[in-house]
Chain A
């Protein structure tokens, strides 16, 4: 054991240059703008994602109102284009990704026994960039701007890339869209690098990679996917932007350019992107199912390796989004096969989840119901996905509502149900209070029913030939009745969301929910070993890890017949110590204003790009440089 030396080394300490007075407080409203605490940042990501879930949901409801009747006139064609573009863009970039990063931010450090992420200020920067990106995208709705993105969330060329004055998509829609996503991409990439370094470098002693919770593994794979996929779409978007604004010819057929280049670049990003969206959800249910079955995850290693396999194989399937573009028989066969192949690791995971629940002591809490719902809905979505891998079949289904059904089953029935499961499971840890179980069950059942009523009929609509992305359909096609059912289902989803929101407001905001305590679920992983909400420094003492599901083994051992025997001294790690321990002596990274400054320096630059104006460009660059230098000079921790 080492001893403390009382010598004070003689040090030449430079006086820190104070540019702006350093924020010190970690409480109060202002502290949220300057926080570098991964937990607060996680909460902000989650809150933002929930807000945009509502916004994207309203966009969906407007779409469904328009499609309720044949020859609907609720929306003009132009407005419809804007709404389905923003619905998709919002759900993918402002809900799915931030939600995963929110949960990841809050729980990855806790699950690996760390006190924060590797780069706390960069973490804050990532969040504020996402904020700036969201503000930028939605500012396009301001009357008079005429810039709401309207080329689809995928922005195919040459529709989006013909010069702004050539008439295909007049106005600034594609400009706000391309620049907005580039901005969001900066945030995603920095967060991803942060996650990789945190997970690889900051694990508690004894936490080998194969002892990490599956959620952490999935966030690691997702972070790698993000790091490699975002640069590709960045290039594609730059090309769209320059084609539109500077006359480049990347996607101009007349000049010899090939619009298909865009599709390749977009889907090279786009397919890994959907795994970026779903893997965190798979990670969440890999946590909840064992807890609520009182059994370890069936085949942990296989689940981990399947996740990694999906991460690799996911790079090899992108052209299945392009089967109808005339790629030729060799290409379509290759991509059809690779798409079928990726169903294997996915299916393996499903069997492992089922194996986890099988013969477990199952508790049907709301979180568990959502997780079970995830398995069922994701399986259905996966089956329709495999149907898409059959090239001749896909040639019929592509661009119809069959595809819409597929991806909503995997992204809503999959990801969002997993997210709701995560909410019910983890909000008690975050807030210290339980959500109401009765309201939760109403939430679940209305969500499940509403979801299926909305999206199952879309399979039929697709097979009956209803195309995507069209603002109205005629009578006499046999589509109206089904569309009406779908629209009703959408409003049922809305109702379910309101139930969820009331649950959150009553139980958490108004604090009428039961006090959670450290470990309300008798769970397995390290975040449950500390108080709810956790102290600022997370762990009073960094745990020494000797097992997978370390916390479970801290609480229980098994007798000779394999029955669980509680360990008398087990329970929350040093929970009694935590009462006495007030965090004295643990130095955490100090708050900082510069991440916010830098992120909001990027915002004027984004506007400068769209309007090709020098003034916001200069202002933005100056703010950015100021923020960057001030940040560089500022030490990460101020001595108190």
Chain B
């Protein structure tokens, strides 16, 4: 049983010989390591950017409706649009939608933990009290 010398040479041919738990970085043809599906194309990125701009414009416009619509509804709409943009950037620009689920799970864990914990803190300090 010989010990192969490990040379980090550019263009090393990687051959996956391991059984379980030896995920090679060359997963499937056309996919980069860590990807589950192909990432969006540059054209799609631009399209997403345009959508995000439009939503931002709508958001800003909506904020000027203060006083014309109930505050609760206004806040709901603004938060919904912010969430839409959040998911747009995180899902597509950060590739959470096309990468392996592991990243998505950790990030959602962090976001959810932050929202729940801080909401409880604010509730305890009577921020939501009438």
At the interface, yes or no: B21 with Cβ under 8 Å from chain A?
yes
**Other CB < 8 Å A-B pairs besides A1-B17, A587-B6, 14 of them?**
A4-B2, A4-B4, A5-B13, A9-B11, A205-B20, A205-B22, A206-B21, A228-B110, A228-B113, A258-B125, A268-B121, A327-B124, A328-B124, A587-B5
Q: How close is B116's CB to chain A, nearest CB, in angstroms? A: 8
Measured between beta carbons, the chain B residues less than 8 angstroms from A203 are 21
Closest 9 pairs between A and B when the two form their complex, measured CB to CB: A585-B3, A264-B121, A585-B5, A587-B6, A11-B10, A9-B11, A331-B124, A2-B15, A9-B9
Interface assignment of B12: CB less than 8 Å from any CB of chain A: yes
Q: How far is the CB of A312 from chain B (nearest CB, A)?
A: 10
Question: Of the candidates B6, B9, B22, B113, which one forms a contact with A11 in the assembled complex, judged by CB atoms under 8 Å apart?
Answer: B9
Q: Is the interface of B mostly helix, strand, loop or mixed?
A: loop
- The answer to whether A585 touches B6 (Cβ under 8 A) is yes
Interface pair B124/A541, CB less than 8 Å apart: no
Cα(A586)–Cα(B110), bound, Å:
38
Cα distance A13–B9 when bound, in Å?
9
For the side of the interface on A, what is the size category? Answer: 20 to 34
Q: State the CA gap A631–B20 with chains docked (Å).
A: 34
CA distance A587 to B6 in the complex (A): 6
A268-B117, A541-B1, A586-B6 known; A205+B124 contact, CB < 8 A:
no
A594 at the interface (CB under 8 A from B): no
A73 contacts partner chain B, Cβ-Cβ < 8 Å: no
A260 within 8 A of partner (CB): yes
Please name all residues of chain A whose beta carbon is closer than 8 Å to the beta carbon of B61 when the two chains form the complex. none
Cβ distance A445 to chain B, nearest Cβ, rounded Å: 44
Interface string of B1-43 (1 = CB under 8 A from A): 1111110111111010111111000000000000000000000
Contacts of A581 in B (CB 8 A): 3
8 Å CB contact of B113 from A206, A315, A331, A541: A315
Given contacts A4-B4, A585-B5, contact A260 B10 (CB under 8 A): no
B5–A261 touching, CB < 8 Å: no
- State the interface size on chain B (CB cutoff 8 A): 26
CB neighbours (8 Å) of A228 from chain B are 110, 113
Q: Are B3 and A586 in contact (CB under 8 A)?
A: yes
List CB contacts (< 8 Å) of A179-207 with chain B.
Answer: 200, 203, 205-207
Q: Is the CB of A264 within 8 A of B125?
A: yes
Residues of A within 8 A of B9 (CB): 8-9, 11
Which A residues are in CB contact (< 8 Å) with B11?
9, 11
**Chain B residues whose C-beta falls within 8 Å of the C-beta of A328 in the assembled complex:** 124
23 A–B contact pairs at CB < 8 A?
A4-B2, A9-B11, A9-B12, A11-B11, A203-B21, A205-B18, A205-B19, A205-B21, A205-B22, A206-B20, A206-B21, A207-B21, A228-B110, A261-B125, A264-B121, A265-B121, A315-B113, A315-B117, A331-B124, A581-B3, A585-B3, A586-B3, A587-B5
A637 at the interface (CB under 8 A from B): yes
A208 in contact with B21 given A12-B10, A228-B113, A585-B6 (CB within 8 Å): yes
Q: Does A584 contact B (CB under 8 A)?
A: yes
Instruction: Tell me the smallest distance from the CB of B113 to a CB of chain A, in Å.
Output: 6
CB proximity to B under 8 Å, residues A306-363? 315, 319, 327-328, 331
A9-B10, A9-B12, A11-B10 known; A208-B20 Cβ under 8 A: yes
A587 to B7, CA, bound (A): 9
Chain A residues 259-284 with CB under 8 Å of chain B are 260-261, 264-265, 268
Interface centre among B5, B15, B21, B124 (most CB of A within 10 A): B124
Partner of A637, one of B8, B19, B110, B113: B8
Q: What is the 8 Å Cβ interface bit string for chain A, positions 215-242, against chain B (1 contact, 0 not)? A: 0000000000000100000000000000
Distance, CA A260 to CA B102, complexed state (A): 36
Chain A interface (Cβ < 8 Å from any Cβ of B):
1-2, 4-5, 8-9, 11-13, 200, 203, 205-208, 228, 258, 260-261, 264-265, 268, 315, 319, 327-328, 331, 541, 581, 584-587, 637
A552 to chain B, nearest CB (A): 20
Q: What residues of B have a CB within 8 angstroms of the CB of A315 in the complex?
A: 113, 117
Which residues of B lie under 8 Å from residue A258 when comparing CB positions?
Answer: 125
Closest chain-B Cβ to A34's Cβ sits at a distance in Å of 21
Shortest Cβ gap from B106 to chain A (Å): 9
Fill in one digit per residue for B104-130: 1 if any A CB lies within 8 Å of its CB, else 0: 000000100100010001001100000
Q: Looking at the assembled complex, report how far the CB atom of B46 sits from the nearest CB atom of chain A, in whole angstroms.
A: 32
Q: Is the CB of B19 within 8 A of A206?
A: yes
In the complex, residue of chain A having the shortest beta-carbon distance to the beta carbon of B118? A268
Q: Which of B15, B20, B21 has the most CB of A within 10 A?
A: B21
**Minimum C-beta distance from A220 to chain B (A):** 13
Interface bits B74-105 vs A (CB < 8 Å: 1, else 0)? 00000000000000000000000000001000
Complex Cα gap A2–B18 (Å): 11
| B124 A319 Cβ-Cβ under 8 A | yes
Closest CB of chain A to B96's CB: distance in Å?
17
Per the bound structure, the CA–CA distance linking A260 and B20 in Å amounts to 51
Kindly list chain B residues whose C-beta atoms are within 8 Å of the C-beta of A261.
Answer: 121, 125
CA distance A8 to B6 in the complex (A): 13
Q: What is the distance, in angstroms, from A72's C-beta to the closest C-beta of chain B?
A: 39
| Cα distance A200–B100 in the bound complex, in angstroms | 14
A contact residues around B17 at 8 Å (CB): 1-2
A585 near B4 with CB under 8 A, answer: yes
Whole-angstrom distance between the alpha carbons of A1 and B22 in the complex? Answer: 15
Report B-chain residues with C-beta under 8 Å of the C-beta of A264: 121, 124-125
Chain A residue at minimal CB-CB distance from B4:
A4
B1 contact set on A, CB distance < 8 A: 541
In the complex, what distance in Å separates the CA atom of A11 from the CA atom of B7? 12
Residues on the B chain within 8 Å of A327, using CB: 124
With A and B bound together, what is the CA distance between A327 and B113 in angstroms? 22
Among B110, B113, B121: residue with most chain A CB under 10 A: B121
Interface positions of B from 45 to 76, Cβ below 8 Å from A = none
Which residues of chain B are within 8 angstroms of A268 by Cβ–Cβ distance? 117, 121
Residues from chain B with a CB closer than 8 A to the CB of A637 are 8
- Considering only CB atoms, which chain A residue lies closest to B8 in the complex? A637
Expressed in whole angstroms, the Cα–Cα distance for A319 and B123 within the complex equals 13
Instruction: Return chain B residues, CB-CB under 8 Å to A4.
Output: 2, 4
Q: How far is the CA of A581 from the CA of B3 in the complex (A)?
A: 10
Q: How far is A58 from B4 in the complex, measured between Cα atoms in Å? A: 53
A329 to B72, CA, bound (A): 28
List the B side residues contacting A265 at CB < 8 Å.
Answer: 121
Q: Within the complex, what minimum Cβ distance (angstroms) separates A324 from chain B?
A: 14
* Nearest B-chain residue to A545, judged by Cβ: B21
Chain B residues lying within 8 Å of A200, measured Cβ to Cβ, are 102
What is the bound-complex CA distance between A11 and B11, given in angstroms?
8
What's the least CB distance linking A613 to chain B, in Å?
35
Counting chain B CB atoms within 10 Å of each CB, the highest count among A203, A205, A581 belongs to: A205
